[in-house]
Copies of this chain bind each other. A is one copy, B any other.
């Protein structure tokens, strides 16, 4: 099972809707496939210009490590030099905080990831989960 563009669009739209409902700052949302490659992205009006890279970094690290943002953050807090080194081997493209959410199929296999940025990391993750659930997928924050 892979994430279709249709599903990715639903995730993004519903994540943004949740952000408006929660009254969050303007959000940016990326959906990556199982190889860590971009399927779709949207940045809301008013978000800072550099938000693609942050959203991407949250999702990319999640896919590449098979570890969602919360687990990455715990590892970074316990062993900062390890996550720094991991980032070295991934070309500095990993942002290890909540808002990077793994997408899993029914058997638990990783089929992609969502990255959300714009508000607090926890709010970013909550909005992502709303989007993922609206698309009928299972997320791991």
Q: Which of A's residues lie within 8 Å of B, judged by CB?
A: 4-5, 8-9, 33-50, 52-54, 56-57, 63-67, 76-77, 79-97, 109-110
Contacts and interface: CB of A to CB of B under 8 A. Distances in A.
A69 B36 CA distance: 23
Given A36-B50, A63-B50, A42 B87 contact: no
A81 B80 contact: yes
Contacts of A5: 42-45
A25 to B, nearest CB: 9
Given A35-B35, A50-B90, A53-B89, A41 B40 contact: yes
A100 to B, nearest CB: 11
B36 A49 contact: yes
A54 to B, nearest CB: 6
Contacts of A44: 5
Contact of A57 (B56, B83, B85, B93): B85
Given A35-B37, A89-B92, A50 B76 contact: no
